[in-house]
Amino acid sequence: MKLLRYGPSGAEKPGLLDSDGQVRDLSGVVADISGDVLHPDGIAALRNLDPASLPRVEGTPQDDLRLGPCVGNIGKFICIGLNYADHAAESGMPIPEEPIIFNKWTSAICGPNDPIQIPRDSQKTDWEVELGVVIGKPGVYIDEADAMNHVAGFCVVNDVSERDFQLHRAGTWDKGKGCDTFGPTGPWLVTPDEVADVDALDMWLDVDSERMQAGSTATLIFKVPHLVAYCSRFMSLQPGDVISTGTPPGVGMGKTPPRYLKGGETVSLGIAGLGEQKSKVLPAS
């Protein structure tokens, strides 16, 4: 299934994408794509529905029908740093011996086609296409062999980052990661049964039609089961938590010379089978 949330910002309704690419309304079945709906029992109940029996929503998703973040009420937005060896190299940093964990504030989360707002005083706003992992079954100290049973699905995340705030303004990376609009998420949550091999997903990102990133989850240093198990050592994972798993090379910081967003650009990105995003970049105000 492809689960989604549609409608105005802050008033999204739950839905699913049918085989014809049309949105079907789930608001008569569940309140939101969040919480217990993402538990394996909740996903199983939705899978038993006949999409044709659900009301069809007028409009074309990501065209004249806005999509919101594909998960509602995200509790934790956990990110993994330097999880591709070639991205670590372009960043001038060593390959980590353990996953690097940082956070994006949930106020950063926005829809897959919502504008990206460059923050005030920013000089180095950057892009990062990433695979997002959505937790469905809660757990702590999860065994790696059982980790995938805790995953509700996968989605596209743009881990927008302000590099000066992140690296040169003292403190943790979080300062440059959680600005408003720095977490476009979606367009939809794709359940694992529709993802043939999460370790072989092509991913890409363009700025104004110029290809910046082209990679694959095949080169992840720490794979999804390991990340789920590892994160659960330090916090309980709850339904609706999102783990963003890192980015392949091609970020602006790694260009020669470095290239950053100024406003007026369009950032497009996608992951095979998980959908695409397209966001207009707004200059700092």
> 208-261, pLDDT tens digit by residue?
999 999 999 999 999 999 999 999 999 999 999 999 999 999 999 999 999 999
Q: Cα separation of 222 and 46, whole Å?
A: 31
Residue pair 150/237 in contact (Cβ under 8 Å)? The answer is yes
Domains of the chain, residue spans: 72-282
Q: From residue 47, how far is each of 59, 92, 147, 152 by CA, in Å?
A: 23, 45, 21, 12
pLDDT level of residue 79 (50, 70, 90 thresholds): very high
pTM of the model: 0.96
Q: From residue 67, how far is each of 39, 41, 71 by CA, in Å?
A: 22, 25, 11
> Is the predicted pLDDT of residue 90 greater than 90, yes or no?
no
Mean pLDDT, residues 104-122 taken together: 98
Tens digits of residue pLDDT in 59-69: 999 999 999 99
Tens digits of residue pLDDT in 192-207: 999 999 999 999 999 9
Q: Which residues touch 11 (CB under 8 Å, ≥6 apart)? A: none
Summary mean pLDDT of the chain: 96
Question: Which CATH number does the domain 72-282 belong to among 2.40.50.180, 3.90.850.10, 3.90.550.10, 3.40.190.10?
Answer: 3.90.850.10
> Is the predicted pLDDT of residue 80 greater than 80, yes or no?
yes
**Phi, psi (degrees; rounded to nearest 5) at 154:** -130, 155
Q: From residue 5, how far is each of 62, 69, 143 by CA, in Å?
A: 11, 7, 31
Tens digits of residue pLDDT in 7-25: 999 999 999 999 999 999 9
Specify the pLDDT at position 103.
Answer: 96
pLDDT level of residue 272 (50, 70, 90 thresholds): very high
pLDDT level of residue 89 (50, 70, 90 thresholds): confident
pLDDT level of residue 86 (50, 70, 90 thresholds): confident
- Which position has the token pair 């040169």? 168
Structural tokens at position 42: 């909740």
> Is the predicted pLDDT of residue 71 greater than 80, yes or no?
yes
Mean pLDDT, residues 154-170 taken together: 95
DSSP assigned state of 211:
E
Residue of 111, 122, 115, 231 lying closest to 169 (CA atoms): 122
Residue of 160, 133, 146, 149 lying closest to 78 (CA atoms): 133
Q: Cα separation of 180 and 118, whole Å?
A: 9
Q: Cα separation of 89 and 91, whole Å?
A: 5
Q: Cα separation of 93 and 113, whole Å?
A: 32
Q: Cα separation of 144 and 230, whole Å?
A: 8
Element (H, E) at 256: none
Residue 259, amino acid: R
Residue of 36, 105, 32, 104 lying closest to 68 (CA atoms): 32
